[in-house]
Amino acid sequence: MASYTVTALGILCTFGLVSCQFVSLGSCPEVKLQENFDLDRYLGKWYENRRYANWFSLFSNCVTAEYTKLSETSVKVNNTGWLYLSNESDTAIGNAIVQEGAKLGVRFSEFSPYGNYWVLSTDYTSHSIVWSCEESPKGAIQFNSQLLWILSRSPEGLSETELDRLFDILHGYGINTDIRKLKPTKQTNCFGRSINM
Ligand SMILES: *[C@@H]1O[C@H](CO)[C@@H](O)[C@H](O)[C@H]1NC(C)=O
Ligand SMILES: *[C@@H]1O[C@H](CO)[C@@H](O)[C@H](O)[C@H]1NC(C)=O
């Protein structure tokens, strides 16, 4: 999202014209990224366990992301979900590039800029925390817009203990994990999936 969009949203939000899910006051929080990020171990299929409410996946559940290596720094992204209003599957094919360490960029059209895809924490075998933050230009009032996903390797998700540990990491950076903002993604009774039907 371009920063002027963030500013515009921030202003509309301040005056109560739009839902303020996407924008908060202040600059982006400082975070640590996953050290020694290993792309090869990160590839394959992930299940969306939780996400910030966002306009591009408002009405989908059963969301998976599959990453396939194209080169040392480029990955094919296949995001597939189920649109529960129209009862049909929805796939977005994109491309991710490794920018530096665990900082990746992802886009779903060759005409759009890469959006941030920062891996804050992953153990490659059970969880990943993916985060992005955009800031409005420095000015009198600063806004930021964050996106957050928790992914799991298993459609069954994560244990309470593991989730608590991930929430602790996020709270340490001042990142909001309120259930009204970070919503669980339904991964049960997914059509066409033999597991967990
Ligand atoms: C994307 O993933 C879905 C679900 O796993 C699969 O059915 C579909 O064939 C994949 N599409 C491409 C182009 O890879
Ligand atoms: C939704 O689509 C699935 C898979 O195509 C089908 O089995 C199911 O009957 C549909 N449900 C409704 C309510 O139409």
In a domain, 194, yes or no: no
Domain residue limits at 38: 2-184
In a domain, 190, yes or no: no
**pLDDT, tens digit (0-9, with 9 covering 90-100), for 89-115:** 999 999 999 999 999 999 999 888 899
68 CB within 6 A, ligand 1 = no
Highest mean pLDDT of the ranges 17-21, 58-62, 89-93, 193-197: 89-93
In a domain, 147, yes or no: yes
In a domain, 134, yes or no: yes
66 CB within 6 A, ligand 1 = yes
91 CB within 6 A, ligand 1 = yes
- Residue 124 pLDDT > 50: yes
pLDDT, greater one: 107 or 59: 107
Average pLDDT, integer, range 125-152: 91
CA of 80 to the centre of ligand 1 (A): 7
CA of 46 to the centre of ligand 1 (A): 13
Residues 6+ positions from 146 with CB-CB distance below 8 Å = 24, 28, 52, 131, 132, 133, 134, 175, 176
**pLDDT, tens digit (0-9, with 9 covering 90-100), for 147-177:** 999 999 999 999 999 999 999 999 999 999 9
Residue 162 structure tokens: 């593991």
Residue 128 structure tokens: 């990943």
In a domain, 97, yes or no: yes
- Residue 11 pLDDT > 80: no
- Residue 9 pLDDT > 70: no
CA of 18 to the centre of ligand 2 (A): 33
Q: Measuring from atom 11 of ligand 1, which residue has the nearest CA? A: 78
Residue 12's pLDDT band, with cuts at 50, 70 and 90, is low
93 CB within 6 A, ligand 1 = yes
CATH number at residue 79: 2.40.128.20
87 CB within 6 A, ligand 2 = yes
Cα 163 to chain centroid distance, Å, stands at 16
**Predicted model pTM:** 0.89
Find the radius of gyration of the CA atoms of the chain: 17
- Residue 197 pLDDT > 50: no
Contact 183, 53 (CB under 8 A): yes
- Closest ligand 2 atom to Cα of 191: 4
In a domain, 191, yes or no: no
CA of 97 to the centre of ligand 2 (A): 36
In the chain, % of residues over pLDDT 70: 87
From 78, 90, 191, the mutation candidate for ligand 1 (largest count of ligand atoms within 8 A of CB) is 78
In a domain, 136, yes or no: yes
In a domain, 96, yes or no: yes
Instruction: Give the chain's domain count.
Output: 1
DSSP 8-class letter at 18: S
